[in-house]
Chain A
Amino acid sequence: MVITSMKQQGKDIGLCLCRVCQQLNTTGRTHCLRCETELKVRDYGSLQKSWALLITAAILLVPANLYPITILTNQGQVRHDTIFSGIVHLVHSDMIPIAIIVFIASILVPWVKIIGLSIYLCAISFNLPISKKKLMVGFHVIEWIGRWSMLDLFVISLTVALVNMGQLLDAKPAPAATAFALVILLTQLAAKILDTRLLWDRLENQDDTN
């Protein structure tokens, strides 16, 4: 359901929404009327923080994909599995549905998140003429799917706790697990910290329904 609007930004008429409790405040206030959080009409610094977090996450994505994420010992044979080779093994052992779930959670979601967020941040930083509406829908999708990457870490923790029978059958986490955990944390923070209202200011001189 869509409701009528006045096609005005809040800061034009001296109003500002608290980012913590969504209370409407006049821009003259320094702290929120309701929850006493510091008010910012626009958080310009959030763009830089978001870039910093995103670039760090993008760098960490390389070790997360190149290094092994689990070490599996099966009857004396040691196997180092990266995220990708783990999925290939699942495909070879005829578990296609599970392979698809793991592929989406561990490869597709982190990449989509990092590429999507960088497009979004570029659009704000460099005033790119991309439809704001599409960017915002994309941003909501990224916010929602981001958490599903945790699936792989949960699976690793269950497997490591369950399978510890020495030379017979044994699973251990490997360095990529930490890098992968940090990728999830940093990309979630980058999306959370960003003040999305900046996007709608930057392109204001163009038609905002484009």
Chain B
Amino acid sequence: MNKVYNRIESITGNVITVRAKGIRNNELATVSTRFGKSLAEVNKIDGDLVSLQVFAGGKGVSTGDEVRFLGHEMQVSFSEDLLGRAFNGSGEPFDKGTALTENMKPIGGPSVNPTKRILANRMMRTNIPMIDMFNTLVVSQKLPIFSISGEPYNELLARIAMQAEADVIVLGGMGLKYDDYLYFKETLSKGGALSRTVMFIHTAADPTVECMKIPDMALAVAEQFALQDKDVLVLLTDMTNFADAMKEIAITQEQVPSNRGYPGDLYSQLAARYEKAVDFDNAGSVTILAVTTMPGDDVTHPVPDNTGYITEGQYYLKGGRIEPFGSLSRLKQNVNGKTRKDHRALMDAMIRLYSSYKDTVEKKNMGFVMNRWDEKLLKYGKLFEDKLMSLSVNLSLENALDLGWQILADCFEKDETGMKSELIEEFWPVK
């Protein structure tokens, strides 16, 4: 019953047009070129002129190539067999495994009814103190990791994937270097987390259209797992590449750009993905962490700017550490009052002292004389950075809190911390 056409009317960039009848919006087709078959998706219909974006790109497509419409929309196979596997943006195996075609589910489905969501109030442990202790990640939260290129954001994601308290990890890679894919695969399999991970990978060498499909594929799979009562953590890297892919397609299709070349619906497109983060009433949850590289360290660039309006805070990766001042988890107060009673107070006190340390460093750099208090702060800052801020630290929240007290006790007297005496009496380490 498939409709087949042999005449391509126009080819611009990754978009081809075909004269065809009875074609549905967003329907899939295959294009057979001399380099093999590629998927294509209908994204505009004007009378009998149908535009399709070709997943493998327009390079080498001939006007005489065969276009075969499949009669269904983009789908992804869903089953436990996905775990431990890697796929590309078309849903084909990226590893050497077999193709999965059973139990196909549509991608990019409708949004969750707000009345079926529940208030985010469960902590997701990552065993990274800068997250658990200072900007707690909450189940169903959506948080970007703002970063400049060159920062170890993929290392951070891999670490979170291994340590996070999630049932299933879905990793979506957009514009990855192949090395990065190998790094993820190796690290996760060494750390024993590969068996609960599904990867959707688009490398920088792969066609742009596939890049745009990665978040939808990853989130559709995550949603399915969540409906089976699983707590799913979705890791996306890098959303700026996703936005750039969208920009490329929009410009090719002669859409009016709005801000620095990005299409006018950038906000809606990003929101449609991020809003898939959910804690279902009576089922599992989806939590999203997404790397967003900021071109030129500029947070007002359209991609991080629109992202900031959508997400519930951000982690700010700078100098190989999660920066405590720029980072914010907006939902942390929903959970950090219930962990341990010293959590909030210790968090505030340590950040306050760390901020004083930063001032002292500035003073020191300007050549001022260091007094005794300054010396204490300098010692504290160094310990804090080495023992808690380093991304290689793997500590449970409770151990991190204990370590925090230890650091304070190593550097200060009790009354120099500015905390409630009651807490100090209970938690101050005995030397």
Are these two chains actual partners, yes or no? no
A interface residues with partner B (beta carbon < 8 Å): none
